Amino acid sequence: MAPFLQLRWLVHWLVSAAAWGLLCGAGFAHSPPLMPSLAPPCPLHCICLSQSQVVCNSASLRGVPSTLTPTVTQLSLSRADLRVLRSDAFAHLRQLRRLALDACNLTKIRPFAFRGLPRLRELYIQHTPLATVDAFAFAALQNITSIVLSHNRIAQIEAYAFAGTNYIKLVSLRNNPIKRILAHAFSGLNDVVQIELPSGIRSIEPQAFAGLGGVGTLELAYMDLPALLQDTFRGLTRVGRLALRESDLGVIRVGAFDGLQRVDVLEMCNNKIDAVEELALVQNNSVRSFKLTGNHMLESPESVVLEVENVVISGNHLPCECGRDPLANPLALTADFAEENYCISPLKVRGRSLASATGAGAACRGEAGGSARARAAAGAGALLGDALALPHLALTVTALAFFAGS
């Protein structure tokens, strides 16, 4: 009987378990569903990749969506019809770290448009019709990594456009039609690692860089200036490297570098310089290294005062005046000056080192006096005259041979 009782008990247990399973299943089947997520809805014309990443690349969008949650850290408004950016436009997005406004129809940025964004690290405004950076447009940005304003139509940066903006790695203004840098355009921009300016600048106002303090690299290239004016760099302080290169600098006026302070390296490389009224870097400028290399000077400098720790003057092309010792040139401040710099005129010694041209006294005998430009023009005319005279000489010799034969 024991095995029979055990079998009966097992069958009873299986039936009870099956009944309990059906009951529980039915209960779960009719239980209310879990509560849905409380995440807010995504704004119209936007795609919310997450609560922190939002893309609103819609031409139908006319402004910054007000319903964006404060948790957004990355926001793209590219290709939106965002024409005017009002003051404090993003103040409700204090967690924002990356903001892209590329290819939108932006034409104006109101003062303090980006105020209230303490965590913003990257700001991109590219390929827009923006023509002017108004005063205080980028003011009060702190600890931002980069402000990229390339490929716009920016022709003018007004004074104090970046006031109160500190600790930036990069400000890029490349590929903009900026022709003139106004006074105080960068005032209040402090501790920036690098500023990239576009090519084609034709005018720099006095004190254009005043108030720009603590810049790692400021490079001015491919400019076409009539002159480097007095006080061009006044108020520019704590510069790692200031470079003027591949440009037509016109005439370097008296006091062009007055007021420039605490510069590690000042470079003037591969420029065309019509004349130098004065090249003065006095002790108050506290320039550590000055490099003048590869420049073409149409006139010898009138006055040079370089109170600099390290001076490099090489590869420059200067006027070679007949019978004049090259060491009498105001730039002859380095031991190998005559060997490491070259003649730009007269034509007969062009390209030769100053030292070798001086030794060839007959090479410039009879050269006209006057300015280097006049001597260069005279040399060019003489060279052309010689070339034209050769055919006449050949005709004369041929004629004499003909008559001699007859």
Mean pLDDT of 298-308: 94
Asked whether residue 105 is domain-assigned, the answer is: yes
In this predicted structure, what is the pLDDT of residue 38?
56
Asked whether residue 404 is domain-assigned, the answer is: no
Which residue spans within 233-381 are E strands per DSSP?
A: 237-245, 248-252, 261-269, 272-276, 279-281, 287-293, 296-297, 304-306, 310-314, 317-319, 342-345
More confident residue, 8 or 10: 8
Asked whether residue 383 is domain-assigned, the answer is: no
Asked whether residue 263 is domain-assigned, the answer is: no
In this predicted structure, what is the pLDDT of residue 286?
93
Please, what is the Cα angle at 87 between 81 and 90, to 5 degrees?
A: 70
In this predicted structure, what is the pLDDT of residue 8?
55
pTM for the whole thing?
Answer: 0.77
Q: Which domain holds residue 95?
A: 54-198
**Predicted confidence (pLDDT) at residue 137 exceeds the cutoff of 50:** yes
Residue 146 CB burial class (10 angstroms; 0-12, 13-18, ≥19): middle
- Region of 313 please: left (phi>0), alpha (psi -120 to 50) or beta: beta
Mean pLDDT of 59-88: 93
In this predicted structure, what is the pLDDT of residue 393?
36
Which sign does the torsion angle of CA 368, 373, 379, 385 carry?
negative
Asked whether residue 193 is domain-assigned, the answer is: yes
In this predicted structure, what is the pLDDT of residue 83?
94
Mean pLDDT of 344-367: 74
Asked whether residue 90 is domain-assigned, the answer is: yes
| Residue 12 binned pLDDT confidence (cut-offs 50, 70, 90) | low
Q: Which pLDDT tens digit goes with each residue over 252-271?
A: 999 999 999 999 999 999 99
Which sign does the torsion angle of CA 55, 60, 63, 67 carry?
negative
- Cβ neighbors of 128 (< 8 A, separation 6 or more) are 101, 102, 103, 104, 105, 106, 107, 152, 153
Asked whether residue 68 is domain-assigned, the answer is: yes
The token pair at 188 is 């209040």
Asked whether residue 194 is domain-assigned, the answer is: yes
Q: What is the mean pLDDT of the chain?
A: 83
In this predicted structure, what is the pLDDT of residue 360?
53
Tokens 């404060």, located at residue: 70
| Residue 214 binned pLDDT confidence (cut-offs 50, 70, 90) | very high
Question: Omega of the bond prior to 226 within 30 degrees of 0, cis?
Answer: no
In this predicted structure, what is the pLDDT of residue 203?
96
In this predicted structure, what is the pLDDT of residue 94?
94
- What CATH code is carried by the domain that includes residue 138? 3.80.10.10
**Domains in the chain: how many in total?**
1
CB 276 within 8 A of CB 305: no
